[in-house]
Amino acid sequence: MPQPFRVLIAGGSYGGLSAALNLYDLCRGLPPRCGPAPAEGEDLPETPQFAVDITVVDERDGFYHLIGSPLALASEAFTEKCWVKYDDIPGLQSPNIHVVQGSVKSVDPARKVATYLPHGSTAEPQEVRYDYFVAASGLRRAWPVVPQSLRRKQYLFEAGDHIRAATAARHGVVIVGGGAVGIEMAAELKLVHPHLNVTLVHSRDKLLSSEALPDEVKDRSLELLREAGVDVLMSHRLDRTEEVKDDSGNSCLRVHFTNGHSMLADQVSLAVSRSVPTTTYLPNDVLDEQGYVKVQASLAFPEQSPNSAFHFAVGDLAKWSGIKRCGAAMHMGYYAAHNIHRHMQLQTQTEGQAAQATDKGGIPKLLELDEIPPMIGLAVGKKAVAYWPEGGMMSGEDVMKTFFGDDLGFAICWNHLRLGGDKVQ
Ligand SMILES: Cc1cc2nc3c(=O)[nH]c(=O)nc-3n(C[C@H](O)[C@H](O)[C@H](O)COP(=O)(O)OP(=O)(O)OC[C@H]3O[C@@H](n4cnc5c(N)ncnc54)[C@H](O)[C@@H]3O)c2cc1C
């Protein structure tokens, strides 16, 4: 038996799991799960099979449905659902796929060696040799946008404490930042706890002000938010908060804005911190000045970097056009898997196989990303607003159903990646 190809993936979320599972399909001669579905009656193309050993290293002990965070941090019932330990994910149970909890610390593309620190304070750094590497570790995001726990058990406490503190509020909750995350946080909190005063404040005169989206999308988002019962203060920039006593002598916060306005609140959540790429483990020559990986259209590392054809980056940490989205991360994972599988074919084929491949139409082409225009799907309470250039803007409860189902997209992502094995959520 030939030695299996060793594939190391940093990050086991949308991008990383898509790369792992699509590659696993291709190496078994199956159509990749996130690829285009074959037309009815169309013969499946023959894909050469390879022995493969895929290791995914992730800091968390499970798959965390990140886009469900606004609901996971508002509803304890959903908190439970949003994080599934890797050991409990049927689609990952295979002798060819290993998931390790740890943090990737360094990658040396010239030697094809990486180190990671296994989870646990006494653990020693481990060195791993690989044939192919995929960086899929996303962006570092601040609390309370994203839970900071690395184990599911600890996460349930973290989210539970947050929800209890928010819902015990007498004066209400203020969310600062009218980008997509702030809008969803405010709307989900109000949806799950209709009695709660929820205020979203934004420093500009339009929501989603840093996104290159048409004004009608920004205006519709504001309408939906107000319809959902959220108080929205536009053109309000947070100055400071101070601890004060209210008229009943209870401790609370006075929130001051730079325009002189102030209000009482019990909890202030910041949804404005800039998220930064988690790429400190990669050499500087593959990164731009902000830490994003300067990928080629094939998602391989820059051409001039050592062994670039063996190194890929997918998801939020890849420097590419378009708003960062989980759909794009899964799509990139599929492209990386296809291009790795193609490279395996190039590396292993004998002259005879090359001739045979040519007879059958040759080795498949590299998949290359086109530019991605700005597009968005935004959940605002019971409704959603969606926009992409060809479809234009649409909004309503039916849009919510199509884009998010009834669990902020958990089942859609779970089923797309076939994490349930053959079981559909
Ligand atoms: C609140 C919120 C709401 C969102 N809503 C939507 C939405 O409605 N629709 C949409 O399309 N997108 C949405 N997004 C964006 C979407 O979540 C991201 O585009 C997507 O998560 C990117 O996937 P990824 O796999 O690249 O990275 P991530 O999902 O960030 O996953 C990265 C993984 O890498 C791990 N990791 C990090 N560093 C290391 C390391 N050094 N070693 C090992 N592992 C590491 C992390 O633990 C994590 O599991 C939302 C984002 C947020 C924060």
Pick the residue whose CA is nearest to atom 26 on ligand 1.
315
Ligand 1 midpoint to CA 352 (Å): 44
186, 282: one domain = no
Nearest to 419 by CA among 78, 16, 137, 55: 16
136, 279: one domain = yes
Antiparallel, parallel or unpaired: β 231-233 and 198-201 = parallel
3-state SS string for the chain:
CCCCEEEEEECCCHHHHHHHHHHHHHHCCCCCCCCCCCCCCCCCCCCCCCCEEEEEEECCCEEECHHHHHHHCCCHHHHHHHEEEHHHCHHHCECCEEEEEEEEEEEECCCCEEEEEECCCCCCCEEEECCEEEECCCEECCCCCCCCCCCHHHHHHHHHHHHHHHHCCCCCEEEECCCHHHHHHHHHHHHHCCCCCEEEECCCCCCCCCCCCCHHHHHHHHHHHHHCCCEEECCCCEEEEEEEECCCCCEEEEEEECCCCEEEECEEEECCCCCEECCCCCCHHHECCCCCECCCCCCECCCCCCCHHHEEECHHHECCCCCCCHHHHHHHHHHHHHHHHHHHHHHHCCHHHHHHHHHCCCCCCCCCCCCCCCCEEEEECCEEEEEECCCEEEEEHHHHHHHHCCCCCHHHHHHHCCCCCCCCC
Q: Are 116 and 135 in contact (CB under 8 A)?
A: no
Give me the half-sphere count of Cα atoms (radius 13 Å) on the Cβ side of residue 360: 12
Among 18, 64, 67, residue to substitute to test ligand 1 (most atoms within 8 Å of Cβ): 67
Ligand 1 midpoint to CA 137 (Å): 8
Q: Are 121 and 131 in contact (CB under 8 A)?
A: no
Q: Which two tokens stand for residue 19?
A: 């790369």
Residue 179 within a domain: yes
Domain endpoint, select from 345, 371, 397? 371
286, 137: one domain = yes
Residue 310 within a domain: yes
Ligand 1, residues at Cβ distance < 6 Å: 10-16, 57-60, 66-67, 69-70, 103-104, 136-139, 141, 145-146, 181, 184, 278, 281, 315-316, 324-327, 329, 377
Among 14, 34, 66, residue to substitute to test ligand 1 (most atoms within 8 Å of Cβ): 66
Beta partners for 7? 54, 132
Sheet holding 392-396, edge to edge: 376-380, 383-388, 392-396
Ligand 1 midpoint to CA 65 (Å): 8
Domain endpoint, select from 226, 248, 270? 270
Ligand 1 midpoint to CA 19 (Å): 14
pLDDT score for 364? 77
Pick the residue whose CA is nearest to atom 11 on ligand 1.
325
**Number of structural domains the chain divides into:** 2
Q: Are 326 and 67 in contact (CB under 8 A)?
A: yes
Domain endpoint, select from 270, 298, 331? 270
Ligand 1 midpoint to CA 64 (Å): 9
206, 118: one domain = no
Ligand 1 midpoint to CA 136 (Å): 9
Residue 377 within a domain: no
196, 323: one domain = no
Residue 376 within a domain: no
Pick the residue whose CA is nearest to atom 50 on ligand 1.
67
325, 207: one domain = no
Ligand 1 midpoint to CA 44 (Å): 32
CATH of the domain at 251: 3.50.50.60
223, 297: one domain = no
Ligand 1 midpoint to CA 264 (Å): 33
Residues in the chain: 425
Ligand 1, residue 271: give the atom nearest the CA: 1
232, 285: one domain = no
Residue 403 within a domain: no
Ligand 1, residue 15: give the atom nearest the CA: 25
Give the C-alpha separation, 62 to 119, whole Å.
13
58, 206: one domain = no
- Residue type, position 243, single letter: E
Residue 419 within a domain: no
Ligand 1 midpoint to CA 39 (Å): 32
Ligand 1, residue 332: give the atom nearest the CA: 26
Dihedral angle computed from the Cα positions of residues 287, 289, 292 and 293, in that order, rounded to the nearest 10 degrees: -20
101, 19: one domain = yes
pLDDT score for 40? 79
Ligand 1 midpoint to CA 201 (Å): 24
pLDDT score for 58? 98
Give the C-alpha separation, 405 to 378, whole Å.
12
178, 99: one domain = no
Residue 425 within a domain: no
Q: Which domain holds residue 318?
A: 5-72+83-141+275-371
Pick the residue whose CA is nearest to atom 7 on ligand 1.
67
Ligand 1, residue 145: give the atom nearest the CA: 1
Ligand 1 midpoint to CA 12 (Å): 10
Ligand 1, residue 102: give the atom nearest the CA: 43
11, 122: one domain = yes
Q: pLDDT of the chain along its 425 residues, tens only?
A: 578 999 999 999 999 999 999 999 999 999 999 999 877 777 777 788 999 999 999 999 999 999 999 999 999 999 999 999 999 999 999 999 999 999 999 999 999 999 999 998 677 899 999 999 999 999 999 999 999 999 999 999 999 999 998 888 789 999 999 999 999 999 999 999 999 999 999 999 999 999 999 999 999 999 999 999 999 999 999 999 999 999 999 999 999 999 999 999 999 999 987 899 999 999 999 999 999 999 999 999 999 999 999 999 999 999 999 999 999 999 999 999 999 999 999 988 765 565 555 555 567 789 999 999 999 999 999 999 999 999 999 999 999 999 999 999 999 999 999 999 866 66
Q: Are 221 and 413 in contact (CB under 8 A)?
A: no
Among 99, 325, 326, residue to substitute to test ligand 1 (most atoms within 8 Å of Cβ): 326
Residue 386 within a domain: no
Compute φ and ψ for 223, nearest 5 degrees.
-60, -45
Ligand 1 midpoint to CA 11 (Å): 9
